[in-house]
Copies of this chain bind each other. A is one copy, B any other.
Amino acid sequence: MNAGAAFALSRPLDGPAEVRHAARAGRLRGQTSGLAPGFVQANLAILPSDVAADFLRFCQRNPKPCPLIGMSEPGDPMLPDLGADLDIRTDVPRYRVWRDGELAEEVDDIRDLWRDDLTAFLIGCSFSFEEALLADDVPVRHIAEGRNVPMYRTTIPTAPAGPFHGPLVVSMRPLKAADAIRAVQITSRLPAVHGAPVHLGDPSLIGIRDITAPDYGEAVRVEPDELPVFWACGVTPQSVIAAAKPPFAITHAPGCMLVTDLKNTRLSIL
């Protein structure tokens, strides 16, 4: 870890350590989509010890929205399993601080907020499976349209744990049927980043009234010969934390993910 700076210099410009160091140095404050292609990006949730055990159980019970790819020791901001020299207090481009379930502020680093009773949870992100879809020539509409993926609250319940409960949030990608079938195959191999879709076809069957009005992200075009295909989404834990209203929590800001040293291709179980 003390060789971090030298390590970064030996990396290509789009390597994961370089992205983290740019965030740490204040040179990167925005979204990480498209940065460090080939490397796993992760959703972040940081919780105090009085609810961390419940949240860990929530992830265990809800692996599709909350596939846990790493967590810190309580009070330790370093995550060596996810990246060389990785400091969770500085290496995410932008953080959100939550107090009693309300967004209190957005900040660029959380060194001042770090405490000995905090645990960081890193949860798989759909960027990894979108890369796998595109590599197999399955088109991803929101990327083609240059938008954020549309996300929807559903009527599908999550399995509760302690104070954490609430509906599943899903992301949607419109696909022709043959591509939808191929997408099931591709994403089934990637359970660490949400795995297979949870639904396809009629949105009303999972409580989505208007596909053109997502609850998060931006709407995308759905052609008449396409099916909307829905995956469990990493926004679910943020939505569940907001509903549980813990006195204190920190997450990444939307789209500003932690970039890890794990390779997307190594997530495939087959």
Collect the chain B residues with CB atoms within 8 Å of residue A40's CB. none
| A200 contacts B227, C-beta separation under 8 Å | yes
Cα distance, A188 to B184, chains bound together (Å) = 10
This protein's copies in its complex: 2
Q: A201 and B199 in contact (CB under 8 A), knowing A184-B181, A184-B184, A185-B188? A: no
Q: Is the CB of A50 closer than 8 A to any CB of chain B? A: no
What's the minimum C-beta distance from A199 to chain B, rounded to whole angstroms? 5
* Chain B, Cβ-Cβ closest to A270: B270
Q: Is the CB of A243 closer than 8 A to any CB of chain B? A: no
Q: Is the CB of A178 closer than 8 A to any CB of chain B? A: yes
What's the minimum C-beta distance from A104 to chain B, rounded to whole angstroms? 38
30 examples of A-B residue contacts, CB within 8 angstroms: A177-B199, A177-B200, A177-B201, A177-B202, A177-B205, A178-B198, A178-B199, A180-B200, A180-B201, A181-B184, A181-B196, A181-B197, A181-B199, A181-B200, A184-B184, A184-B185, A184-B188, A184-B196, A185-B185, A185-B188, A185-B196, A188-B188, A200-B200, A200-B201, A200-B227, A201-B201, A201-B227, A202-B225, A205-B225, A270-B270
